Chain A
Amino acid sequence: MKEIGLYIHIPFCMKKCDYCDFLSGVYDERMQEAYTRSLCQEILYGGQQLKSVAVSSIYIGGGTPSWLDAEYMEMIMNAVYQAFTVLPSAEISIECNPGTVTKEKFDTYRRIGINRISIGLQSANDDELKLLGRVHTYNRFLHTYDLARKCGFYNINVDVMTGLPGQTLEKLMYTLDAVTGLRPEHISAYALIVEEGTPFYDRYKFDAVKQHAGMETEFLPNEDLEYQLYKMTQHVLSERGYRQYEISNYAREGLECEHNKIYWKRKPYLGVGIGAASLLDDVRASNVRDIYEYLERCEKLRAGDEFSPLWDSATKLTRHEAMEEFMFLGLRMNCGVMREDFEKTFGCNIEGVYGDVLKKLRGEELLTIEGGRIYLTEKGMDLSNYALAEFLLEK
C-alpha cells in the first residue's frame, strides 16, 4: 500500500506574533466550530479520493493547533481514522504553544493517538519573548514542557530562533543551555526572517536590508554576529548530542522528525485546511487561503468530484522540475541525496544533468561526493541558497 503523509492546518491563534507571516489569525469560537466541521468534511473526502493509501505520519501545524478546543481536535482525529488507514507506527505531531495546553488537553491528545509534541519556545529570555510578541514567559514554557512529559509524551521538539533583534551570543547561549538542559528529543532552530506584511517588517525592514548588505545595523544583529549566532547554534547543539539533519533541524539519534523528511525526500503528502500544500503523483497543489471560501467549498464536496475542488492551484511537475526539486530539497538534508535514487527516479545519470553544477560546487568546496552520496559541506550549508539555486535548470 502506498504511504502518504498528512498535514492538517489549524489557523487559529490566541494572538498573532509580531514576526509571523503564516496563514493564521484570531477567530471566535463559532469559527473554530465551523472550521472543524469543514476540516472533517475535507478529510473524509480525501479518504474517499485516495483509496488504498496508508498514512505514515501526521503533522498538525498552524497557527496554534493547541489553541483549538480538545473536543474539536478529537473530532478531527476521529475523521482521520475514519477516512484513512493510519499505520500503528505513524508519527503524529502537534504544535503547541506554552500556556494554551492543560493536563486534560494533553490527555485527550494521548487518547487520540498524538505521540509527538512540538512546543514553540523561541527564546528562554523573557525580554526577547516580549519583543517577539509571544503570549508566554519562559516559566510558562517550563510548565507546559513538564506537563507534556508528565502526560507521557516521549517525543518532544522545542523551537528556538536565532538572529533576533538585540540578540547577543550570551543571550542565545542562555537559551541553548536552558533548552538542551531539558533534553528534548528534537530542536528546531530557525533564523528570523523579516517578512513583508508583519509588524516586524515595519520595524526592521531597513535593518534587514542593511544586514544583508553587510552594513552596520541598528536592531538586528549585524551580518557577522548573525553568522556567529547561527554557527554557535550548530556547534553547541552538536556538542550536546543533537545531530543536524537538515538546515534548521536537530535531533538526538534516531529521533528525527519523520514528517519533515517526507518534504525533503519528495514523498507524497496530502495537506488539509486553508492554504495547505499537497504533493500527490508529482502534482503540487495548495488549498484556497480564504477561510470563508474554504468553508463554502467544503460544503459542496461530493465524492467522485475532480481532485480536489479545494485546490487553489495545482501544477503537474515536469520531469525537469521534479529533478530540480529532488536536488534542492534533498540537499537541504545533511545526508544529501543518493546518486542511485536519482537514477531510479528519473532513469538517467545525474552527471548527465548536473555534471557541470556538481563540478562547480565541488570546486567551490560547497559540495562533496562520497561514493554514491552527494551532500553539501558545512560551507555549502552556510551558503545553501547560493548552492541550491544552481540546480535550477534552464527553461
Chain B
Amino acid sequence: MAVDQSKIRNFCIVAHIDHGKSTLADRIIEMTGLLTSREMQSQVLDNMDLERERGITIKSQAVRIIYKAKDGEEYIFNLIDTPGHVDFNYEVSRSLAACDGAILVVDAAQGIEAQTLANVYLALDHDLEVLPVINKIDLPSAEPQRVKDEIEDVIGLEAQDAPLISAKTGLNVEEVLEQIVTRLPAPDGDPKSELQALIFDSLYDAYKGVIVFCRIKEGTLRAGDEVQMMATGATADVVEVGYFGAGQFIPCDELSAGMVGYMTASIKNVKDTRVGDTITHRKKPCAKPLPGYKKVNPMVYCGLYPTDGAKYPDLRDALEKLQLNDAALQFEPETSVALGFGFRCGFLGLLHLEIIQERLEREYNLDLVTTAPGVVYRVYKTDGTMIELTNPSNLPDPSEIDYMEEPVVEAEIMVTSEYIGAIMDLCQERRGTYISMEYMEETRALIKYVLPLNEIIYDFFDALKSRSRGYASFDYEMKGYVKSDLVKLDILINKEEVDALSFIVFSGTAYERGRKMCEKLKEEIPRHLFEIPIQAAVGSKVIARETVKAMRKDVLAKCYGGDITRKKKLLEKQKEGKKRMRQVGNVEIPQEAFMSVLKLDED
C-alpha cells in the first residue's frame, strides 16, 4: 500500500548546544505514544554512551513515529537528529538535505547563540521551512518575549506564534506536534520516476553489513533492486528496506518518494556508502546525482601509539572496526623513535579526535599515547612540487622548501558587548585577521575573524569561554589555505631529538612555545641519575633550554619496626611510576609528557 505523501513530515531539530534539542526529541517520541515514559531511557536518540555523557550527538540518528493530530488524521513523522558540533558540519548539511522542515530550538534565557545562527542559516540554505520553538520557559531567567524579538530581528523569522515550551516537563510540546503538521510542508517527488535517494548516514552492523540511511527524493526503492552509488560507483543488490522504530529497524516492502528509511545490501564497508552520495538504480539511473556531495577530508592529524607496544595489532584492529562506521576517520602506520609503532590518524576536528581516542580506550581497552594534533600544511618545494604535510617529522630540509601554507577558517563569534575587547585580544593573539563586527542587538555582537586552524585546534574554545565568562559562542568554517611563515620546532632531551614532540609552529611564536614546552617538560620528566638538558630548537638553533637536575639522594631511612609491607608499597609505587615511561636514549619520559605539551596555555 502506497503511503500518502501528504501525511509525511520529515524534519530535524536544530539548536545551539545545551538548548534542549535532544530533550525535545525525547519528549516528541514519548508523546507520540511510540514509547511509554517507562520504556524511555532518557535521550533515546543519542544512543552511544559517549554521546549521553557529553550531551552531544555524534552520529545522525533517525526515528519514525506516528502522530494522531487534532484533525483526526495519523501522520508519519521522520525525526532526523543531526550532529551538534562544527567538526561534523558536513554530516549536518546532509542530514538537513534529507528533511523538508526544521524545528529551531532556542533557549528562553540564553537566546540566539553562534551555533543557532550557523545551523539555522544552514537549514535556510537547504530551503527548509523553519519552525521556531522557545524552550526552557520554566527557568526563572526565561525571557520569551525578548527571545522572540531576537529571532525576528536577527534571523528574520516570524516568531510570535512560536510555542513556549519546557521540553523537560513536556509543557506545550503538544503544540509543537500540531505545528509540525500545520506549518511544515509534506515532501514531494514522484514514486514512479527514476530512483534518486540521498545517503545521510550509514552504520556497520556485524550481521547485516552496512546499513544505509537514506531519504528517497524520487522513485521507489525495493528489496531485490540492483542499485549503484553515483559518486563511489559501488553497486549492490538490496537485501532489505525499512524504516526506523525506536532503536530498531523495521523492514517494509518499499520506500517511495518522500520517505525516510534504510536499506541493507550486504555492503562490507561504509567507504562505499559515503554520506551525501546518491543511490539510483543501476539499470535505470536518474539523470544526475543530488547536489552537495563532498568527500570529507580530515582536518586534524595526530599520532596514536599504544602504551604497550605489544598492543599495536589490537590498535590496528580497533581502528579498522571504528572506520567501518566512520568514513571520515583515516589512519596509516607510522613509527616514532620515541613511541615505537603507531598510526598517524586524521580527524574532522579535535572533538572527533577526542571521541575516537575515548572510544579506543573505553570500548577497546587500549591505553594510548597521543602526540600533539596538527593540521595539514602545504609545503611548496623548490622543485615546483607540493606535499601535504600531516606529520611534522616529514618536513623536507629547509633548503628544499620554497614556501608553506596553512589552513585558515572563518570564525563567527557571538559575544555580549562587555567582552568584545577581550575576545578581540584573543583573536589577535591567535593571529586572527579581523573581518567585521555587527551588533545583533544592543548588548550583543557578532564578530568575524579569519583564524589559522592551527591556532584554534588546541584550546581556543576554552580560552574563549574563560575570557568571556562563558558568554561567547563560536562557530567556524574552512576558508582554504594562506601562505604563512612556519617553522618546525624540535625538542631535544639529553641532546636527542624526540620526534614525537616536534611540531610545526608560526615562526613568530616559536620562541614562546619552545620556552613553555621546555618548562612543562621539566616538570614532567622525573629526575635521573644524571643531569638532563631539555632544549627547544628551530633547525640547528637552540631557542630555549631547561635542565632536570640529577638525583643524588632517594632514601627511605625510616624504620617502621617490622612493618615490611609498608616499605614494599613505597617501592612498588616507585616501580609503578617507571612502567608508564618511554625510553628515549637513556632518558625515561612519562607518557603524560607527550600530552602535557598540548596544555601549554593552562597556567
Contact = CB atoms under 8 A, between A and B. Distances in A.
Interface in A239-283: 247-248, 260, 262-263, 269, 271, 275-279
A61 B562 CA distance: 11
Contact of A260 (B554, B558, B559): B559
B564 A325 contact: yes
Interface string A306-333: 0000000000000000001100110000
B314 to A, nearest CB: 20
Interface residues of A, number: 44
A214 interface: yes
Nearest to A262: B562
Interface in A177-230: 188-191, 193, 214, 223, 226-227, 230
B287 interface: no
B562 A388 contact: no
B288 interface: no
Contact of A328 (B527, B552, B559, B568): B568
A385 B570 contact: yes
Nearest to B570: A385
Contact of B562 (A7, A247, A383, A386): A7
A392 interface: yes
Contacts of A392: 568, 571-572, 575
Interface in B456-495: none
A284 interface: yes
B200 to A, nearest CB: 50
A87 interface: no
Nearest to A313: B565
Contacts, number: 100
A329 B568 CA distance: 9
Contact of A279 (B562, B567, B575): B562
Mostly helix, strand, loop or mixed at chain B's interface? Answer: loop
A389 B568 CA distance: 9
Contacts of B549: 214
Interface residues of B, number: 25
A381 interface: yes
Contacts of B578: 389
A143 B555 CA distance: 33
Contacts of A226: 553
A269 B561 CA distance: 11
B436 interface: no
Given A284-B564, A284-B565, A286-B563, A388 B553 contact: no
Contact of B555 (A7, A328, A364, A381): A381
Interface in B518-551: 527, 529, 549, 551
A325 B567 CA distance: 10
Given A263-B564, A269-B562, A230 B555 contact: yes
A191 B557 CA distance: 6
B556 interface: yes
A384 interface: yes
A386 B551 contact: yes
Contacts of A263: 561-562, 564
Given A324-B568, A383-B529, A277 B553 contact: no
A286 B557 CA distance: 21
B564 A386 contact: no
B443 interface: no
A348 B552 CA distance: 34
Nearest to A263: B562
B520 to A, nearest CB: 14
B574 interface: yes
B571 A329 contact: no
19 contacts: A7-B562, A59-B561, A191-B555, A193-B556, A223-B552, A247-B556, A275-B563, A277-B564, A279-B564, A324-B568, A328-B571, A382-B552, A382-B555, A385-B554, A385-B570, A385-B571, A386-B551, A389-B572, A392-B568
